[in-house]
Structure 1
Amino acid sequence: MRRWLFGDQLGPHFLDEPQQTVLMVESRGVFERRAFHRQKAHLTLSAMRHRAAELGDRVLYLKTRTYREALRLAGEPVDVCAPTTLRARRLVDALDDVTVLPPRGYVTSHEDFVSWADARRGTLRMEDYYRHARHRHDVLMEPDGSPAGGKWNLDADNRNPPPRGVTRLNVPPPPEIVEDEIDAEVRADLDRWAAEGVEFTGVDGPRLFPATRAEALARLRHFVTDRLPLFGPYEDAMLSGDPFMAHSLLSSSFNLGLLDPVEAIDLAEQAYRVDAVPLAGAEGFIRQLIGWRDYVWHLYWYFDAGYRSVNELHARNRLPDWFANLDADAVDARCLSDVLSGVRDRGYVHHIPRLMVLGNYALQRGWRPAAMVDWFHRNFVDGFEWVMVANVVGMSQYADLGKITTKPYAAGGNYINRMSDYCSGCRYDPRTRLGENACPFTAGYWTFLHRTRERLSGNVRMMRSLQQLESIHDLDQIIAQEQDRGSRAP
């Protein structure tokens, strides 16, 4: 039977036979429904067309407006690995002559996760799931059943600020991406679509991320050999002159299905076992895959469809135009301007700028969580709905009041000052919360606590901050200042 491959099912692990025939559908309607980042659209289409070229005459590649139209043109039964969104899952379930197979590209099965989650009785902490998955799949484990190195989590070793006085980490750059005629064809088609009224966000640019399995494997091997040794210590650090730091730059490759996370986990563990990388680095990378990535995938399906709209902190403000339109030049705050320009120019910043700059600012201002889910989904090359729902609703915006995290990821300017070089030369002072030089993150932090104090009053981990709130003598002035700032760019 012909295998239907969605655009995020591009690796060999989505096929069962060496010569299996394939259906691929390039749906223009997907890009007409919402404005995706131009580089995200390019990467996705380039990856699909490169995969089709690899498959040769085994693939039926259809360019249609809708998937239903393509299935009618195909005119034969197909099977498909379960797609990654609720909308697509409902579509394939409703189509005649389509057999839906279990999902692939994740480490733990849906049944195993449900069994674990049901036994937790509502307390679904990633750390608990991570330990379960390590045991279940024998990853970084010793023969006696203990974790490698005697600790499950070495996160405490992975929180170093950037080295003082440097603008870049001393790591070699990843293998260069060389565009080809397929990329040129994609760029021309996207230019034509834009002229015909299809809207995009961000700016066009050279392709920065793998569109083929060969490119992704080269990046993976390079990361484990040359970048993973420094990944751990500076995993949470930011440098304005080094947007990639020692990160793997592989999230889009995993999410497009070019790489199977199991092969990356095995490679990182092997490097640790032969003393090529420190345990803290290998464990930190593996935790992102077998822990967080699998965890948010399963939560997307475990929670009901209404989770995407959860808003327990009653954050109802709309995204301001400067943020929605990626207008980094309108922003004076150095950290926010630089990070927003990274989204505009690359469709990518690593996880700490996402969480502690973009997400933190939105949380403090009470922007609607569902709008933030959509914004991250559309504007990041690795952004898919299943990725962003739990990451944004549960983690970044704390809109579920702690279903998956123990406290809001809210912080003032001092955190950014400690973990980056952004505050040097910024017009705002991270130690100042009132006045012309008041850091919008520092002032915003106390305004956020004031606005949400009743909803957070039962959170033990927020007790100290809420007590400090009561002792701030100029709180009324800070609140008035932030209300006056409103939706203006800081």
Structure 2
Amino acid sequence: MHWLFGDQLGPHFLAPDGAGPGRGTPVLMIEARSVFRRRRFHRAKAHLVLSAMRHRAAELGERVTYVRADTYREGLDRVARGRPVTVHHPTSYAALRLVRSLPGVTVGPARGFLVPMADFASWADGHGGRRLRQEDFYHWVRRGHELLMDGGQPAGGRWNLDHDNREPPPRETASLPVGRPYRPREDEIDEEVRHDLDRWERDGDVSFVGRDGPRLFPATRGEALRALQRFVEHRLATFGPYEDAMLAADPVMSHSLLSSSLNLGLLDPAECVERAEAAWRAGRAPLNSVEGFVRQVAGWREYVWQLYWYFGEDYRRSNRLRHTAPLPGWWSDLDADAVRANCLRTVLAQVRDTGWTHHIPRLMVLGSHALQRGWDPAAVTDWFHRCFVDGYDWVMVPNVVGMSQYADGGRMTTKPYTSGGAYVHRMSDLCGGCAYRPGDRTGDHACPYTAGYWAFLDRHRDRLAGNHRVSRPVRQLDRLTDLDEVRAWERSRGDGPP
């Protein structure tokens, strides 16, 4: 039998190539209730994962044995009964430990990524294993997979067109003039999943956060391919310039919304970047937009996956800034209505209502606030894992520990990613109508991000003074005439919503 986890749902996880199952090999899928009992997941995420698993089982028909059990181990014991079982390399350390502990289970190579882990380890070891910058890795992947290459040179003469992709949102409109993203239609399987989740909650067996319904993200291979096609044909062209911008009434803008499909295994990253490149070569999308998307998938996503395994399991416990404050209840419960700061209230509401927001609100609104408040990075990582439909352990450990919370002290990124309210004001319309003023760091209208930014630098000035990317604002601390007021704000802020 071949065992498919719930994030291994595409055809490439059953493709026979000597390292995978042969044609016609019986398939095992296990729906383990304990997964939802251990953690308080977003309701929409639980719905999406179960819907995707059950849809895949329906597609496989008689070939699959679909088991609903309390744990994976129980489900396997019930069905395998000593038969040999194969499984592709799981996507978390916990799952890998499990499958390696089970008798008769053979673990094959990972699928759903562009670079084999052994190849990355060789590349990383060749760079000394320490300063593994994403840009260097991205160039290596582009060359190795001949992505956006003209001969031996990058298409257009530059590897990275990020400089062209930092436009603030257009001020004259509340949304981008771009085609709508693909949205699936629910069916009887979704209805069954919702009924089961309702029953589990009524029985007190599990508890969720956030809101559920209707399902916004693909749960089948066919839906995922239609979402990819819609993005490439109608949204990719405008993706690049505004990929870092935020609009309150348009949380999706030109983003692909493909991350959950990629992370469920419904799409393979190679087909995504190849279709985007084909659109550029056919003149249907500009190079800066296509390069930005390729960098997200073949650069950043791949880099995060590889670092998760290369850095080792202890990496998740990194806490170089020694942040230990617990997450407050309003944050854990996604209580956006309790928040006065317009940017944070808007983004937290997006997470509450959909389980998704794009990478800049995640980093510069949610992550920045957590970093400034000094919250425990392990708790922040767990929150992102549970509350986002595309969140998995391998996704969130490097993204949160390394990039968002700077808990590794710079092993992954060159600086802490946090800012004052001026950045949010420049890159969004979220400061309009806010109770706070982005330029004020003290007083009744002090922006919690602006005050929080200077308080963060002051708290960690000794560590950050030698960082060339933030040393200038650190030096400015001693020239702030209101620094004592910022410190007083820091001491009195508590853990209430801003």
Partner of 2:460, secondary structure, is: helix
Instruction: Write out aligned runs for 1:75-474 (5 A).
Output: 75=81, 76-121=83-128, 122-143=130-151, 145-197=152-204, 198-474=206-482
- Contact 2:324 2:374 (8 Å CA) reproduced: yes
Matched, 1:12 2:11: yes
Q: Which moved more, 1:147-156 or 1:65-74?
A: 65-74
The code of the aligned residue for 1:31 comes to F
- Contact 2:183 2:217 (8 Å CA) reproduced: no
The code of the aligned residue for 2:77 comes to R
Q: Pick from 1, 5, 23: which aligns with 2:28?
A: 23
Q: For 2:147 and 2:368, how far apart are their aligned partners in 1? A: 33
Deviations 1:404-463 (A, max 9, x none): 111110100000000000111111000001011000000000000001111112211111
- Contact 2:465 2:475 (8 Å CA) reproduced: no
Q: Which moved more, 1:196-205 or 1:97-106?
A: 196-205
Aligned residue in 1 for 2:60:
55
Partner of 1:25, secondary structure, is: strand
Q: Give the 3 Å change call, closer, same or farther, for CA 275–18 of structure 1 in structure 2.
A: farther
Q: For 1:249 and 1:20, how far apart are their aligned partners in 2? A: 33
- How many matched pairs? 488
Q: For 2:363 and 2:279, how far apart are their aligned partners in 1? A: 29
The code of the aligned residue for 2:433 comes to G
Cα deviation, residue 199, structure 1: 0.8
Deviations 1:128-165 (A, max 9, x none): 1000111111111112x010000000000111000112
The code of the aligned residue for 2:313 comes to A
Q: For 2:416 and 2:183, how far apart are their aligned partners in 1? A: 38
Deviations 1:185-240 (A, max 9, x none): 00000001101211111122210000001000000011011000000000000000
Q: For 2:102 and 2:223, how far apart are their aligned partners in 1? A: 34
Q: For 2:347 and 2:288, how far apart are their aligned partners in 1? A: 27
Aligned residue in 1 for 2:19:
none
Aligned residue in 1 for 2:70:
65
Percentage of matched positions with identical amino acids: 60
Cα deviation, residue 390, structure 1: 0.5
Q: Which moved more, 1:248-257 or 1:169-178?
A: 169-178
Q: Pick from 29, 32, 35: which aligns with 2:40?
A: 35
Q: For 2:288 and 2:229, how far apart are their aligned partners in 1? A: 18
| Unpaired stretches in structure 2, ≥5 consecutive residues | 17-21
Q: Which moved more, 1:296-305 or 1:374-383?
A: 296-305
Q: For 2:466 and 2:398, how far apart are their aligned partners in 1? A: 22
Q: TM-score, normalised by structure 1?
A: 0.99
Cα deviation, residue 482, structure 1: 2.8
Q: For 2:384 and 2:202, how far apart are their aligned partners in 1? A: 25
Cα deviation, residue 470, structure 1: 1.2
Cα deviation, residue 255, structure 1: 0.2
Q: For 1:470 and 1:210, how far apart are their aligned partners in 2? A: 52
Cα deviation, residue 476, structure 1: 1.1
Q: For 2:24 and 2:329, how far apart are their aligned partners in 1? A: 50
The code of the aligned residue for 1:54 comes to E
Q: For 1:271 and 1:378, how far apart are their aligned partners in 2? A: 35
Q: For 2:286 and 2:312, how far apart are their aligned partners in 1? A: 40
Q: For 1:170 and 1:331, how far apart are their aligned partners in 2? A: 30
Cα deviation, residue 483, structure 1: 2.1
Q: For 1:328 and 1:440, how far apart are their aligned partners in 2? A: 16
Partner of 1:91, secondary structure, is: helix
Q: For 1:455 and 1:118, how far apart are their aligned partners in 2? A: 27
Deviations 1:55-90 (A, max 9, x none): 000000000011111111112221000100000001
Partner of 1:290, secondary structure, is: helix
Q: For 1:26 and 1:469, how far apart are their aligned partners in 2? A: 54
Q: For 1:338 and 1:292, how far apart are their aligned partners in 2? A: 26
Cα deviation, residue 18, structure 1: 4.8
Partner of 1:63, secondary structure, is: strand
Partner of 1:36, secondary structure, is: coil
The code of the aligned residue for 2:142 comes to R
The code of the aligned residue for 2:116 comes to S
